[in-house]
Structure 1
Amino acid sequence: PATVSRYTSLDCADKSIVYALESAVIQWSRQVQLVLKRESSQPLRQGESPTPKAELDFWKSRSEDLEYIYDQLSAVKARGVAKLLDRLQSSYFPAFQAMFRDVRAALTEARDIHTHLTPLSRHLELLESLEFPEVKPRLRPLLHVVCLIWATCESYRCPGRLTVLLQELCNLLIQQASNYLSPEGLLRSEVEESQRKLHVAMDTLSFFKQVFQDRREHLRTYFRENQEVREWDFQSSLVFERLDGFLGRLLKVQDLLKTTLDFHQLGKLEFSGIRGNALSRQVQQMYDGFQEMYGVFLESSYDCLDPQSTDFENDLCEFNQRVEDLDRRLGTVFSQAFDDAPDLEHAFKLLDIAGKLLERPLVAQDASEKYLLLIRMFIQDLDTVRAIYSQRVQEEAELGFSSVHKNMPSVAGGLRWARELRQRIQGPFASFRRVTHPCMAGAEGKRMTQKYEDMLSLLEK
Structure 2
Amino acid sequence: LNFRRIRRGETGKKGQPQNDDVLWDHEAYPPEELIPMLMSCIELNQAYFKQYEFTKERLKNMPKGKQFEFSPNQIFGKFDLFCRRVSKLIELFGTIQQFRTLQKHNLEDITPILDIFDRYVATFKKKNHKLLDYSNNTFDRDFVEFNVGVSSVETDLQHYIDKNFEVITSIEDSLKLLRKFKSILHRDNLRNGLNSKYSILFHNYGIEINQIEDQYQRHKNNPPIVRNLPTVSGSITWSRHLFHRISGPMEQFPQDLIKQKESRRFVKMYNRIGYTLFSFEYLWRQ
Q: Normalized against structure 2, the TM-score is what?
A: 0.76
Q: Which residue of 1 aligns with 2:271?
A: 453
Q: Percent identity?
A: 21
Secondary structure (helix, strand or coil) at the match of 2:211 reads helix
What SS does the corresponding residue of 2:251 show, helix, strand or coil? helix
Residue number in structure 2 paired with 1:213? 53
Cα distance change on mapping 1:337 and 1:176 into 2, 3 Å? closer
Q: Does the 8 Å CA contact 2:198/2:253 hold for their aligned counterparts?
A: no
Match of 2:119 in 1: 292
Task: Tell me the CA shift for residue 255 of structure 1.
Answer: 0.6
Deviations 1:371-393 (A, max 9, x none): 44322221111112222333455
Alpha-carbon displacement from aligned partner over 1:11-49 (angstroms, at most 9, x marks no partner): xxxxxxxxxxxxxxxxxxxxxxxxxxxxxxxxxxxxxxx
1:137-193 superposed Cα distances (whole Å, 9 cap, x missing partner): xxxxxxxxxxxxxxxxxxxxxxxxxxxxxxxxxxxxx65774588733123221111
CA contact (8 A) 1:331 1:364 kept: no
| Aligned match of 2:83 | 247
- Alpha-carbon distance in 2 for matches of 1:360, 1:210: 29
Matched, 1:197 2:18: no
User: Alignment length, in residue pairs?
Assistant: 267
- SS of the residue aligned with 1:320? helix
Structure 1: runs of 5 or more not aligned: 1-131, 134-173, 272-279, 396-400
1:306 aligns with 2:133: yes
Shift of 1:357: 6.0
Distance across 2 between alignment mates of 1:425 and 1:409:
25
Deviations 1:242-261 (A, max 9, x none): 11111111100001111112
Is residue 41 of structure 2 the alignment partner of residue 183 of structure 1? no
Partner of 1:427: 248
Q: Distance in 2 between matches of 1:188 and 1:315?
A: 20
8 A Cα contact 1:357 1:363, kept in partner: no
What is the match of residue 315 of structure 1?
A: 142
Aligned to 2:73: 237
Q: Which amino acid aligns with 1:426?
A: S
Residue 361 (structure 1) shift: 3.8
How far the C-alpha of 1:289 sits from its partner, in A, is 1.6
Q: Which residue number in structure 2 is paired with residue 325 of structure 1?
A: 152
**Equivalent residues of 1:335, 1:367 under 8 A apart:** no
In 2, Cα distance between equivalents of 1:232 and 1:312: 36
Q: CA deviation at 1:368?
A: 6.1
Partners in 1 of 2:134 and 2:190 — Cα distance?
30
Cα shift readout 1:37-96 (whole Å, capped 9, x = no counterpart): xxxxxxxxxxxxxxxxxxxxxxxxxxxxxxxxxxxxxxxxxxxxxxxxxxxxxxxxxxxx
Measured in 1, the distance between the counterparts of 2:57 and 2:77 equals 20
The structure-2 alpha-carbon separation of the partners of 1:215 and 1:458, relative to structure 1 and needing over 3 Å to count, comes to farther
Q: Is the 8 A contact 1:331 1:363 kept in 2?
A: yes
Structure with max Cα Rg: 1
Distance 1:207 1:180, change over 3 A: farther
TM (norm. structure 1) is 0.50
Give me the whole-angstrom Cα distance separating, in 1, the residues matched to 2:149 and 2:50.
37
Q: Distance in 2 between matches of 1:260 and 1:382?
A: 41
Structure 2 unaligned regions, length at least 5: 11-18, 280-286
In structure 2, the CA distance between the partners of 1:343 and 1:258, relative to structure 1 (3 Å rule), is same
Task: Indicate if the aligned counterparts of 1:219 and 1:231 stay in contact, CA closer than 8 A.
Answer: yes
Q: Does structure 1 conserve the Cα–Cα contact (< 8 Å) formed by 2:45 and 2:80?
A: no
Q: What CA distance in whole angstroms lies between the structure 1 residues aligned with 2:236 and 2:79?
A: 65
Task: Please say which of residues 205-214 and 348-357 is displaced more in the overlay.
Answer: 348-357
SS of 2:113's partner is helix
Match in the other structure for 2:205: 378
Native 8 Å contact 1:262 1:356 kept in 2: no
Give the Cα–Cα distance (whole angstroms) in 1 for the partners of residues 193 and 44 of structure 2: 38
SS in 2 for 1:304: coil
Q: Which amino acid aligns with 2:169?
A: P
Cα displacement (A) at 1:293: 1.5
Relative distance call for 1:180 and 1:202 in structure 2 (3 A) is farther
Change (3 A) 1:207 1:453: farther
d(CA) in 1 for partners of 2:168, 2:183:
19
User: Which residue identity is paired with 1:197?
Assistant: M
The two structures, once aligned, show a CA RMSD in angstroms of 3.3
Flag the structure with more relative contact order, 1 or 2, with Cα contacts below 8 A and sequence separation at least 6. Answer: 2
Structure 2 residue aligned with 1:170: none
* Cα displacement string for residues 294-327 of structure 1 (whole angstroms, at most 9, x for unaligned residues): 1245445432012112232232122111111111
Return the structure number with greater helix share. 1
Closer/same/farther in 2, CA of residues 240 and 389 from structure 1, 3 Å limit:
same
